[in-house]
Structure 1
Amino acid sequence: MFTFEIFREEVITCYKEKKQQHKLYSQLENPSPGNLRNLCLIIFSNGLSKEDTQTFNEFFNPLNQSNELETSINRFDLDKLRPLRNFILGKAKNPKDEVVKLLAILVDFQPRPYENWKKSNSTTVIENDNVESGEKDSSEIEAEIPVNTEQAITALNDANSLKSNSKSKYLVVTLGLVLLLGVFLFIKYGTLQKQCMYWNNDRYIAVDCKEKIPGSEVIALDEHKLNNFRRITRPDTLSNKDVSRVWYSKVNNSVEFFTEPGHHPLYDKPLKAVTAYILNQHALEIKN
């Protein structure tokens, strides 16, 4: 029987593995309550599935005190995020269920939520039971071979045919697994030569570490930045809803906006969360 305890262990294991592989949001590298709340706002702004929205509501708005989930996250007491922080740091071994479910979203654990994970594992158990049942039926056929010689030969051939079909199925499954493993290894290691990246106008581009890019600095690959860090080239598309959701830096008396926190890719200046004043002065005025 699969229990929530197993789900909890798999979620925290997923966190540890992704941390070693540097595949986590930067806020999880230093999981302070403030960083955790900011990360929840980022993930919310990126869009949530129906199930993830329900998990967020159960955690941030359990009493339905607000009609706006974003408002509930912004006003959420930081002290109530300490159990999540302690669970991540290994200081709490048995947190509440909603803490585990929230971490599953933050580390993009799959399958989720818990109900989907449980169904997935239950399906595996049923399939294994069916295989064992099929083997038993085959042996029963052999045990019930009739005395008549002609019938006995026919029954024996049928039993052998069943065994042959069973072996064929196992062979197909094995070949399928080998193929999947090959695809996985190709995806994981086939591009190992691209372990660096450089900034190109509005995003990072993966590149071989030995390659020289004129006028650009080649740095170590950060998959999260590679996939998510962008300079916003159309600031006129921003609105007041983007306050504290995007980041900015002043460069040569002009303001550049970015989708993620961190440092300016060219000048190494720390990015700041955009304020209503900055947005009105440097983005909304373009629209007007």
Structure 2
Amino acid sequence: MPEFKDFKVEVLALYEAKKSRNELDDLLANPSPANLRDYCLIKLSEEPPPTDIEVFQKFFNPFKKKENIEVAIKTFNTGSLRALQKFILGQTQKPDDLLVKLLSILVDYQPRPFQYGKENTQTKPEELDDKGIRAVEGDQKDEDDLRSEETNQEGSEISIIEDFSKEEEETKGNSSGGDIPKPKDPETGDIDLLDEENRSTKKRKVALGGLTIVIITSFVGLIYPKKNCMCWDGDKFVAVYCQDKTQRNQIVGLDKDKLAFFRRITQPDTLGLKDVGHVWYSKIDNEVEFFTQPGLHPIKVDRSLKIATEHIIENHAGPKKKATKQIIETLADVE
């Protein structure tokens, strides 16, 4: 007599089998709660048999509060479908019986519904392979046939290997034309000695060629080194040689992002409230500077830049900064 646990195994195995063969609808192959609800609507639209309707009714509208099953599914809380999702994903070992029956509808398991006392399963659990995929009827073979096939296959493989070995030996024997004797050592008469020396010579030449390329590459690198470092030039970072001794500011490793985008804002009077939260600043010795990216101060590397607030923009940038700049320029002209 079949048990429900066997039915559960078969339903889940059929899901995995169809998924591996790309036979599932995309909604079911990606079983999010919302996708499962939408796929249930699709199955309902296919005019399922009364037994399927009964399962839908029990799951989505058990107390018949909705006018019909379609409305019940459309308004169903998708969070309640997480249990079905977990069952499909193998995250629960003891799903509710109704969940199993619902999945059997979605994967079109036959025969359904499960009934005690009848042969429900499509194949027995022991007929599942190690991947959980059932064998297709008509393709199953008894053990004697399988053993016979394995024996024949092994015999064929051995025969193929033997034939290949013979062909390889014949090819080696005929590779030099068959009539031309291979070179021998004049003293010992050993065959292939000269060939071995030729191979060794070729290996030495290849190794020497590779070493030459490495030496030339290293030499060129010493003469024409790449600019793999950078330093601050007052407004931005510039690429420099790592061994450059002429730079007055600290030389650091090349950062392509900072090299391209980190800038000091030289006209803070153009900043406004629109820039709040989008620029950064430092205040060192009562001098405020603005920058386009966060990080450390390019010269005072022990100081971190802070994001500019509305207060900072209003008091140290924008129109106020412009007015201060004009006053300073006016005083300079007077002097």
- Comparing both chains, which one has the higher relative contact order based on Cα–Cα distances under 8 Å and sequence gaps of 6 or more? 1
**TM-score, normalization by structure 2:** 0.36
Q: Which has the higher helix share?
A: 1
**TM-score, normalization by structure 1:** 0.41
